[in-house]
């Protein structure tokens, strides 16, 4: 609650798109669709990344953080804007305005930090591939994520407290689509010179420095990619960065246009439209750009939950060993056939030996393998176990090799 002389200020008035009288229904429908698509898309990506072990990598860990932040981002702005366009009641309480200011600033700053962390992840993956797993380990990623959230929360709290003590005696009309720092400072009747200087310095530290680090990272990444010998390797390396680079451009371009564009009363409607692009469209597009173009995420989205009978569906992208070890099923041992032939043994299925791999990894093999030497039985279980172990080791080596080749 704000006091101006003997008057207590309890409400502000967000003008938003009040000048678009005939387009209110179209705006309402558009805002609702963008809000729902953003919420559903981000929550879906968060759930998929959390449930699929294959996506438990630094890149997807930060993408999961970005999805949660975008949910907070749009939820702090679009519901109120949607309510205003539908009901034409543009009032917002002082407490509601300050709360919106906090969460909007918090999510915007946190977006900057997470995108910078993702740029660092791409730099290590491309420029230091042999040290990638050592540098970007779970502890480092967790620390980076915690720092992004903590610094953003503290910074936003400080800015919000500084704004909440300002006087608003001249006007209560916010000619914008939300309560943000720049608009509230301009609306205040207090002397805000020192605050404007403080905000300018902070913008350099909070926004310009991370943006510069992102640009420098991509200069190094592009330089490293151009040094690769084959065109296929260059294409693979660059394709792992295109989604993040597109997201960075989508995030920074509208922000730079919005905050660097000169103030003009005649272009205020255009500013509001640009702001809607920044607030609603960009978070919605991020998921399509960053997730739906990614084969790992698409394959994970196609994976379906096992049914009650124990049959597993949606495992098409896994190797035979992975399918059997995760779901329980018969697996063919590639090296067992030679062992059977050398021992004069018997194998079904055209000379290929099969074994059972359960979810726990234990093997219930063919203990009754027939031997052709003198009719005596020889249990080849130890050979099957050795074959499984060798296959698992080879699978791990191939996984590491493929990861290094991808980067």
Q: Give the pLDDT confidence of 71-125 residue by residue, as tens digits.
A: 999 999 999 999 888 888 888 998 999 999 999 999 999 999 999 999 999 999 9
* Whether this model's pTM surpasses 0.85: no
- According to the model, what pLDDT value does residue 236 have? 83
The SS3 call for residue 355 is strand
pLDDT digits (tens, 9 = 90+) for 123-161: 999 999 889 989 999 999 999 999 999 999 999 999 999
Closest CA to 331 of 319, 342, 347: 319
β-pairing verdict for 11-14 and 91-93: antiparallel
Same domain, 260 and 384: no
CATH code for position 113: 1.20.1070.10
Model confidence pLDDT, tens digit, residues 265-300: 556 677 777 788 888 888 888 777 766 656 666 666
How remote is the C-alpha of 336 from its chain's centroid? 43
- DSSP element (H, E) containing 51: helix 24-51
Q: Give me the mean pLDDT over the 330-347 stretch.
A: 37
What residues have CB less than 8 Å from 122, skipping those under 6 apart?
59, 217, 218, 221, 240, 241, 244
The CB-side HSE value for 277 (13 A sphere, CA atoms) comes to 15
Structure confidence at residue 124 (pLDDT): 93
Look at 235 and 102; give whichever has higher pLDDT: 102
Final residue of a structural domain among 302, 328, 343: 302
Same domain, 291 and 156: yes
Mean pLDDT of 299-309: 52
Q: What angle do CA 106, 61, 301 make, to 5 degrees?
A: 115
Same domain, 188 and 47: yes
| One domain, residues 333 and 251 | no
Domain shared by 82 and 222, yes or no: yes
pLDDT class of 240 with cuts at 50, 70, 90: confident
Residue 314 lies in a domain: no
pLDDT category at 302 given cuts 50, 70, 90 is low
Provide the CB-side half-sphere exposure for 333 (13 A, CA): 28
- Say how far residue 261 (Cα) sits from the centre of its chain: 29
Instruction: Tell me: do 228 and 331 sit in the same domain.
Output: no
Structural domain of 95 = 2-302
**Do residue 167 and residue 78 come from a single domain?**
yes
Give the pLDDT confidence score for residue 20 in this predicted structure.
67
402 located within any domain: yes
Q: Could you tell me if 265 and 354 lie in one domain?
A: no
Domain count, the chain: 2
Rounded Cα gap, residues 241 and 282, in angstroms: 18
Q: Rounded mean pLDDT of the chain?
A: 74
- Cβ–Cβ < 8 Å for 321, 392: yes
The last residue of one of the domains, among 302, 331, 357, is: 302
- Shared domain for 247 and 333, answered yes or no, is no
Q: Is residue 115 part of a domain?
A: yes
Per the CB < 8 A criterion, the answer to whether 33 and 246 are in contact is: no
């Amino acid at each position: 609650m704000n006091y101006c002389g003997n008057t207590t200020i309890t409400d502000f008035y967000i003008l938003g798109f009040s000048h678009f009288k005939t387009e209110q229904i179209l705006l309402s429908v558009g805002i609702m669709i963008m809000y729902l698509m953003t919420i559903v898309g981000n929550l879906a990506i968060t759930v998929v990344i959390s449930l699929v072990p294959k996506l438990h990598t630094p890149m997807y860990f930060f993408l999961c953080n970005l999805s949660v932040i975008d949910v907070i981002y749009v939820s702090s702005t679009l519901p109120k804007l949607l309510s205003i366009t539908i009901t034409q009641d543009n009032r917002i309480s002082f407490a509601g305005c300050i709360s919106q200011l906090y969460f909007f600033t918090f999510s915007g700053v946190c977006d900057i930090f997470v995108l910078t962390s993702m740029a660092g992840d791409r730099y290590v993956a491309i420029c230091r591939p042999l040290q990638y797993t050592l540098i970007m380990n779970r502890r480092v990623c967790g620390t980076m994520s915690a720092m992004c959230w903590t610094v953003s929360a503290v910074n936003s709290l400080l800015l919000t407290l500084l704004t909440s003590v300002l006087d608003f005696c001249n006007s209560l009309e916010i000619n914008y689509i939300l309560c943000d720092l720049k608009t509230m400072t301009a609306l205040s009747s207090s002397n805000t010179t020192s605050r404007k200087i403080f905000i300018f310095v902070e913008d350099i530290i909070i926004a310009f420095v991370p943006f510069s680090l992102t640009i420098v990272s991509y200069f190094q990444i592009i330089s490293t990619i151009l040094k690769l010998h084959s065109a296929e390797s260059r294409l693979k390396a660059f394709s792992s960065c295109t989604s993040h680079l597109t997201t960075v451009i989508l995030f920074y371009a509208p922000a730079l246009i919005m905050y660097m564009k000169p103030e003009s009363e005649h272009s205020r409607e255009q500013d509001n439209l640009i702001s809607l692009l920044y607030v609603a469209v960009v978070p919605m597009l991020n998921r399509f750009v960053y997730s739906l173009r990614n084969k790992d995420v698409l394959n994970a989205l196609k994976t379906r939950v096992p049914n009650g009978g124990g049959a597993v569906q949606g495992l098409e992208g896994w190797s035979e060993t992975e399918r059997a070890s995760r779901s329980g099923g018969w697996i063919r041992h590639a090296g067992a056939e030679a062992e059977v032939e050398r021992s004069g043994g018997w194998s079904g299925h055209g000379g290929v030996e099969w074994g059972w791999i359960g979810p726990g990894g234990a093997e219930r093999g063919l203990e009754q393998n027939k031997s052709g030497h003198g009719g005596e039985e020889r249990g080849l279980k130890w050979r099957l176990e050795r074959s499984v172990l060798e296959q698992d080791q080879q699978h791990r080596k191939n996984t590491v090799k493929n990861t290094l080749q991808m980067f």
